[in-house]
Structure 1
Amino acid sequence: MNMHHIRLGTGKPLLLIHGIGGSWRSWNPVLDGLSRKREVIALDLPGHGQTPKLPGENSFYTLADALESWLRDHNLVGVDCVGSSMGARLVLELARRGVLGAVVSLDPGGFWEGWQVPFFYYSVAGSVRLVRLLQPLMPAITGSAVGRTLLLAQFSARPWRVPADVALTEMRSFARTTNFDEVLKHLAYGQRQAGAPRGSIKPPLVIGWGRQDRVLPPSQAPRALAAFPDASLYWFDKCGHFPHWDQPQETVDLILAVTSQSTAPATAPEAAAPAS
């Protein structure tokens, strides 16, 4: 299928894949910084933004299949790629399939266990129901630092600092995503994320994690590394679930460093322990 996407800048292509409920606009805080060095391609996944949902089942793995087909149709196999949240899990899955170049995966889902599964599902499901109910008031809420603090505390370590336009765009996108509930249920309770044996993925592959992530706790990061032992781990300090919201310049610097080198940057603390 065709997926709506935008292209900015010039240079070697760099593909950006947003998370559940987002759109290409989710990357607005880092688009300018990335497009100064690369041709940035940011897409809307099926059911998100301006891309219609898939016919039949809309699950993580049907989205991954559709995305792989889209890459092949657009001669983008081997493209450098960055993903956020569900998009971060998607880029790990596509790296496992061998269809991507350098990869940066920011706070990927799929590595929860036990109580973390219902916590993820019900906390996100509750949040999106609230967002839908509050749509008429959303411009006023996101226009206030206090409103953003209350609304975005789950997603950001410093929600009052998230730009009002970024917050409003994301909350509008969450409410308008046509397959949100179906995809969320499959993410939480569907097929587990398969890993990749050591040596099967050519570096660079970097998994970034916010130390204050309240959606996917940092304790899940070692499981991601165990599943993808070819990856390096990069910790974002003073950062929640979306590094491109809380630490946009650091996110740009990491992405450009990883995707312009044959190995992960020396600053990526692979052995660092998660925050307690």
Structure 2
Amino acid sequence: MSDPVRVHTSSDASRVGVAPVFVLVHGIGASHRYFGRLHDELARHGDVHAVDLPGFGGLPRPDGPRSIAQLADALASRLDALGVAGAVLVGHSMGAQVVVELAVRHPALVSHLVLLGPVTDPERSSPVVQAWDLFRDMLREPPSANVLVLADYLRCGPRWYLTELPAMLRYPTLDAVRRAPCPVLVVRGADDPVARARWAARVAAAAADGRLLEVAGARHVVQHRRPQETATAITAFVGRRAPSGRSATGRPRDPGGDGHAAPA
């Protein structure tokens, strides 16, 4: 039995099969809560599932460390149970690693990947450097973001945070992005000291179909400070074109070629 994954959903039955499904995946120490503003923006365009990964957001801590692959498999199992396929996976920080790994291991579940402030730059992968970058980031994040993040860090606890940190630091993000079978959008705050410009550009370039967007006036928690700009970028990316032979909802295209999803 896989580790529990909690899902917070905004759904409109009238849009099933005709609108994208967005899945929001948080970073290390965090929870679904710092996606609140982005969640509300994306809910205007499709169903939204914001998740809490095992050991985070108040969920029970697993009996030992979990690799990024194990976290991805736990999330995939939960999405399967919800009947979600062909979704737009949006991951922040370590969550970007989880969604990339999920796309590689369970490609039918994913239509597009959106990586917000992706980690970890191998040139800055030591715990000390990461802690310093995060501290510098928090000095200039809005207080509302810091309150959410710090409260979730306390709820997660330093022991579980430090248990999971090595998996994040060791994960080969670039190699995984190269194997991702779907379009990839990388979004970073223009002032993000964690996901720096050169690194974000490398991540986008590693994808077979990758794009990079820098959001002015934002730092690492770009989805909280600039939710409208982030949501607009995501919906434009999903709407520009779906992967070959599939609609933006992950359902087969109508063979008549009019762009509407065919019946399930």
- Contact 1:4-1:50 within 8 A present in 2 as well: no
Shift of 1:107: 1.3
- 1:92 maps to which residue? 100
Amino acid at match of 1:182: T
- Contact 1:225-1:232 within 8 A present in 2 as well: yes
SS at match of 2:176: coil
> How many equivalent residue pairs?
230
- 1:195 maps to which residue? 176
- 2:235 maps to which residue? 256
Establish whether residue 60 from structure 1 lines up as the match of residue 68 from structure 2.
yes
Amino acid at match of 2:56: H
- Contact 1:82-1:105 within 8 A present in 2 as well: yes
Amino acid at match of 1:56: G
- 2:6 maps to which residue? 4
The CA distance in 2 between the partners of 1:236 and 1:127, in whole Å, is: 19
- Contact 2:100-2:177 within 8 A present in 1 as well: no
The CA distance in 1 between the partners of 2:232 and 2:133, in whole Å, is: 31
- Contact 1:207-1:232 within 8 A present in 2 as well: yes
SS at match of 2:151: helix
Shift of 1:197: 4.6
Percent identity between the two aligned chains: 28
**CA distance 1:77–1:53, change in 2 (3 Å):** farther
Instruction: Note the residue ranges of structure 2 that are not aligned, 5 or more in a row.
Output: 244-264
Establish whether residue 108 from structure 1 lines up as the match of residue 118 from structure 2.
yes
**CA distance 1:63–1:256, change in 2 (3 Å):** same
Query: What is the correspondence of 1:235-246 to structure 2 with a 5 Å cutoff?
Result: 235-246=214-225
- 2:148 maps to which residue? 169
Amino acid at match of 1:122: V
The CA distance in 2 between the partners of 1:59 and 1:104, in whole Å, is: 21
- Cα root mean square deviation, aligned: 2.6
- 1:15 maps to which residue? 23
- Contact 2:22-2:89 within 8 A present in 1 as well: yes
TM-score, structure 1 as length reference: 0.74
**CA distance 1:40–1:191, change in 2 (3 Å):** closer
**CA distance 1:169–1:100, change in 2 (3 Å):** same
The CA distance in 2 between the partners of 1:4 and 1:25, in whole Å, is: 12
Shift of 1:249: 1.3
- 1:213 maps to which residue? 192
The CA distance in 1 between the partners of 2:176 and 2:132, in whole Å, is: 30
**CA distance 1:117–1:196, change in 2 (3 Å):** closer
Amino acid at match of 1:43: V
Shift of 1:22: 1.0
| Structure 2 residue corresponding to 1:232, chosen from 199, 208, 211 | 211
Instruction: Note the residue ranges of structure 1 that are not aligned, 5 or more in a row.
Output: 129-151, 265-276
Establish whether residue 122 from structure 1 lines up as the match of residue 128 from structure 2.
yes
- Contact 2:185-2:204 within 8 A present in 1 as well: no
The CA distance in 1 between the partners of 2:35 and 2:91, in whole Å, is: 10
The CA distance in 1 between the partners of 2:147 and 2:59, in whole Å, is: 20
- Contact 2:10-2:49 within 8 A present in 1 as well: yes
- 2:255 maps to which residue? none
- Contact 2:22-2:47 within 8 A present in 1 as well: yes
